[in-house]
Amino acid sequence: MFNLKKIPLLAGTALAVLGLTAVAPATVSAADFPSKPVQLQVPFAPGGGADRTFRLFAPYLAEELGVPVKVTNVAGGGGWVSWSQVVNDWNPRRDDHKLAVVNIPHIFSFLNPDMKRSEKLESFNFLAWHSYDPGLWLVRADDERFKDLDDVLEYAQKQAIIVAPGSFGSDDHIGVAFAQQAVPGFKAKFVTSRGDNSKIQLALGGHVDLIAGNVGFFINSIEEGQLRPIAVLHPERWPLLPDVPTFEEITGKRNITYAGRTIATANGLEEEKRQVYLDAIKRAMANPEYIAKEKANKNHLQFAEGDDMWKLLREGQTVAEQAAYWKQEGVQ
């Protein structure tokens, strides 16, 4: 199971948050690398949590690399339109000025036999784990059917609750799949959405009963009185929503989902260039101004590299395997 109890909270200083020391610029064989603008490819449409996060990050990464960083969006296939390019089409020489956002656990949709994908974790050239956003269930603020999670569970045992989870195989979908396993008789129907903003419109329009999302993106809608949080899908209550219980508190069953955002690059990229990117990511994430902006953005930074990063990746895959969302009933 994914071990999140030791995740540090955002603090006032950059190095305290990330556990980093100052990183000296790497020495590379091509002293002018990068020599042109870098493309940072987000696998979803503009306006979602990942897009918002990396558009905020881009100028700080650009400052460290010494060249512009342009965020581009390649949406579709629950992220796989972009990720297929990254692992199958990107060339380490031709595409050495490209970086990719890879979302965890979204990429574990490759576990679904219906996807017929040949990729695995090792198919990606991961550089670093960037941030973490815990799962959250919400209802329309004025929906009197659901006062709390008990009401949601009781309703879903009598009739299928209609859920907007984003794409199939997303962290949001996995959280509902866990509930289907953990709560006898829990029934759900899924309405896929075109991003997080679409989920809000579906809920406000009465088209869905429940939103499955993440704290960072939806907290503004909570503060504005549009949506009401029902449960956090995290081992402990999340500091941004201290009054909202966890799924485990109410049911006794652990249900952990999250949006983990990582950065990868082309397979086979020269180690010297790879190190340039990694060191620049470290320094950008340690920038106090950037940390303050992400704190205001309600996004929790969580840096990891090397063995620590791979431990998180493999634990994330275990969560997806246990959820086995592709075996659960639901209507798209």
Q: Which class is 14-133+258-323 in CATH?
A: alpha beta
Query: Is the Cα torsion angle 245, 227, 202, 143 positive or negative in sign?
Result: positive
pLDDT at 328: 59
Residues 162 and 187: beta-carbon distance below 8 Å = no
Q: Give the pLDDT mean for 62-67.
A: 98
Range scoring the smallest mean pLDDT among 29-33, 152-156, 214-218, 310-314: 29-33
Instruction: Note the pLDDT of residue 19.
Output: 47
Give the mean model confidence (pLDDT) for residues 51-78.
95
Q: End-to-end distance of the chain based on CA atoms, in angstroms?
A: 28
3-state secondary structure (DSSP) of residue 13: coil
3-class SS of residue 40: strand
Are the CB atoms for 164 and 210 separated by under 8 Å? yes
Strand partners, 264: 100, 126
Cβ-contact 160, 248 below 8 angstroms: no
| pLDDT for the residue numbered 325 | 67
Q: Do domains 14-133+258-323 and 134-257 have the same CATH topology?
A: yes
Question: Of the given ranges (12-16, 63-67, 77-81, 155-159), which has the lowest mean pLDDT?
Answer: 12-16
Conformational region of residue 39, where left means phi above 0, alpha means psi within -120 to 50, and beta covers everything else? beta
Answer positive or negative: Cα dihedral of 233, 235, 239, 243. Answer: positive
Helix 171-182, helix 306-323: angle, nearest 10? 50
> Quick check: 192 and 167 in contact, CB under 8 A?
yes
Q: Out of 126-135, 200-209, 317-326, which region has the weakest mean confidence (pLDDT)?
A: 317-326
Q: Are strands 125-140 and 258-265 parallel, antiparallel or unpaired?
A: antiparallel
* C-alpha triplet 49, 53, 59: angle, nearest 5°: 155
User: Could you tell me which residue, 324 or 18, shows the higher pLDDT?
Assistant: 324
**Residue 28 pLDDT class (50, 70, 90 cuts):** very low
Helices 271-285/288-296 angle, 10° precision: 70
Question: How many other CB atoms sit within 10 Å of the CB of residue 253?
Answer: 12
Q: Calculate mean pLDDT across residues 18-33.
A: 54
Residues 6+ positions from 116 with CB-CB distance below 8 Å: none
Pairing relation of β-strands 161-164 and 188-190?
parallel
Nearest residue to 129 via CA among 153, 104, 111: 104
pTM comes to: 0.81
Higher confidence at residue 142 or residue 165? 142
How many whole angstroms separate alpha carbon 17 and alpha carbon 292?
A: 11
Average pLDDT on 109-125 reads: 91
Candidates 186, 188, 248, 195; CA nearest to 218 is 195
pLDDT in tens, 67-106: 999 999 999 888 999 999 999 999 999 999 999 999 998 8
Residue 1 has pLDDT above 70, yes or no: no
Q: Average pLDDT of the chain?
A: 88
CA angle 199, 200, 206 (to 5 degrees): 90
Token couple for 329: 């009933």
Residue 275's CB is within 10 A of a number of other CB atoms, namely 17
State the Cα–Cα distance between residues 42 and 74, nearest whole angstrom: 6
Q: Where are the domains of the chain?
A: 14-133+258-323, 134-257
Q: Which residue has the higher pLDDT, 322 or 291?
A: 291
CATH number for the domain formed by residue range(s) 134-257: 3.40.190.10
Report for 173-187, 226-240, 313-327: range of highest mean pLDDT: 226-240
Radius of gyration of the chain (CA): 20
Residue 5 clears pLDDT 50, i.e. is over it:
no
User: DSSP E strands: which ranges in 156-215?
Assistant: 161-164, 188-190, 210-214
